[in-house]
Structure 1
Amino acid sequence: MTTISQTAGRSLRPSSSSGFFATLAGAAYALFDRLQRRTAVKTLNELDDRALRDIGITRSQIEDAVYGQFKAELTRYL
């Protein structure tokens, strides 16, 4: 007796709608990440210089610290 698979007629490539939703989700995550970083920069800018010094950064290093470029700068000096 022969059986026929139900998946025999289906395409192996993903549908275009799933690609669209994956791209849409990626854009939403990127937007959310951008908004979070902007909020962090705004919050750190509201701190006084002493509080920033306690954290270990100066006012000119706020954006680098938030966007992850500060560590690379520190390792150059160590």
Structure 2
Amino acid sequence: MTTILQTAGQNLSPSSSGGFLRSVVNGVQALFDHLERRAAIKTLNELDERALRDIGISRSQIEDAVYGSVKTDLMRYM
């Protein structure tokens, strides 16, 4: 009976410090992801039209391509 009484009062949710640390790590990861995408956009913007066409995107699709939302079905008609 002692074991039941000791565990009954314990909180099963993660500690607030663990949740805070997880939030900080997720925030830092989101920042690095954002910076990496911005660098990719900058690099693609430096390419000429022919190079962009070779990889299958137009200049207006650079950000969509970096963020993964290019409609490949529409690219066949370019």
With the length of structure 2 as denominator, give the TM-score of the two structures. 0.79
Runs of 4+ in structure 1 over 3 Å off: 2-5, 75-78
1:66 to 1:51, Cα distance in 2 relative to 1, 3 A? same
Aligned residues: 74
Q: For residue 45 of structure 1, what is the aligned residue in structure 2? A: 45
Q: For residue 72 of structure 2, what is the aligned residue in structure 1? A: 74
With the length of structure 1 as denominator, give the TM-score of the two structures. 0.79
**C-alpha contact (below 8 Å) 2:52/2:58 kept by paired residues:** yes
1:30 to 1:63, Cα distance in 2 relative to 1, 3 A? same
Deviation at 1:10, TM superposition (A): 3.8
Unaligned residue ranges in structure 2 (runs of 5+): none
Deviation at 1:11, TM superposition (A): 2.5
Unaligned residue ranges in structure 1 (runs of 5+): none
Deviation at 1:62, TM superposition (A): 0.4
Tell me how far apart the structure 1 counterparts of residues 26 and 17 of structure 2 sit (CA, whole Å).
14
**C-alpha contact (below 8 Å) 2:49/2:58 kept by paired residues:** yes
Deviation at 1:14, TM superposition (A): 1.0
Aligned 1:55-66 pairs, distance under 5 A: 55-66=55-66
